[in-house]
Amino acid sequence: MKGKQWYQTTDVVETYETKRFSQGGQLIDDREKRAVLDAIGPVGEKRVLEIACGTGRFTTLLAERGADIVGLDISSPMLREGRAKAVRAGVDSNIEFVRGDAARLPFPDDFFDTVFAMRFFHLADRPASFLAEMCRVSAEQVFFDTFNGRSTRSAYNWLLPMGSRLYGDSEVERLLAGAGLSLASAEHDFVLPYGLYRKLPNDLAADLRELDVALGETPVGDFLASVSYWNARVG
């Protein structure tokens, strides 16, 4: 997986959320959390697995809403941050954090109702294998996001520490079909790249986001969106 060693370093872990979700990055955090909540719906009594849970942004969010959730990540430092976050939120007894490889999930078939991964597929060197594993351990739903090759992200992709894998709609649809998944819904967002929002103060970023959303509601904006959220069903 791209950036596997970089992702596990302590200095990256300590600054992970500050660099990505402070200032205008809060808008990105809010949008991603809304995407997860909208896709999964009511989580009470659902068994949920988050792959590449990182610092537990979504794991803790869903535990607070009653999910029976497992967060899996390859990085021990990330998992430590996730556990600390769960303790601060008072939901540490509702979450199990597991160190593991997304290519070989340590769970039996159909073990979870929902399996999801955020900010993962742009690092995946074997997306078909990862998606097949997600499908194998899910009885009902698989949800994930991708960065899109037709977007402005391609213009600065080379600046990122480990690069990103970018996708087109047809490639994702082939991956879904190959894993035995059927697409239930898809949303496309952020015509403007994430990096721009992170550089701006909240108020200015909020104004820019309004323009971005308006543009995204047009056919051109939808086509040029940099992020897609894929909600799929097993079978």
- pTM metric for this prediction: 0.89
Q: Give SS3 for 225.
A: coil
Q: What DSSP string describes 12-40?
A: HHHHHHHHHHSTTHHHHHHHHHHHHHHHH
d(CA 169, CA 228): 9
State the pLDDT at residue 158: 59
- Which tokens hold the place of 44? 């009470």
**Strand pairing partners for 148?**
167
The domain tally of the chain equals 1
pLDDT confidence of residue 15: 60
State how far the Cα of 156 lies from the Cα of 193, in Å rounded to an integer: 9
Distance (Å, whole) CA 217 – CA 65: 30
- Is there a contact between 120 and 109 (Cβ–Cβ < 8 Å)? no
Structural domain of residue 205, as residue ranges? 4-234
Helix axes 127-137, 169-178, angle to 10 degrees: 50
pLDDT digit string (tens) for the chain, length 235 residues = 544 554 555 555 556 666 666 667 788 899 999 999 999 999 988 999 999 999 999 999 999 999 999 999 998 999 999 999 999 999 999 999 999 999 999 999 999 999 999 999 988 889 999 999 999 999 999 999 999 887 766 656 656 555 678 999 999 999 999 999 999 999 999 988 777 887 788 888 889 899 999 988 888 888 889 999 999 999 8
Task: Give the CATH number, domain containing residue 18.
Answer: 3.40.50.150
The whole-number pLDDT of residue 157 equals 60
pLDDT score of 125: 85
Cα distance between residue 175 and residue 193, in whole Å = 25
| Dist. CA 173–CA 165, nearest whole Å | 16
pLDDT for residue 109: 98
Q: Are 168 and 150 in contact (CB under 8 A)?
A: yes
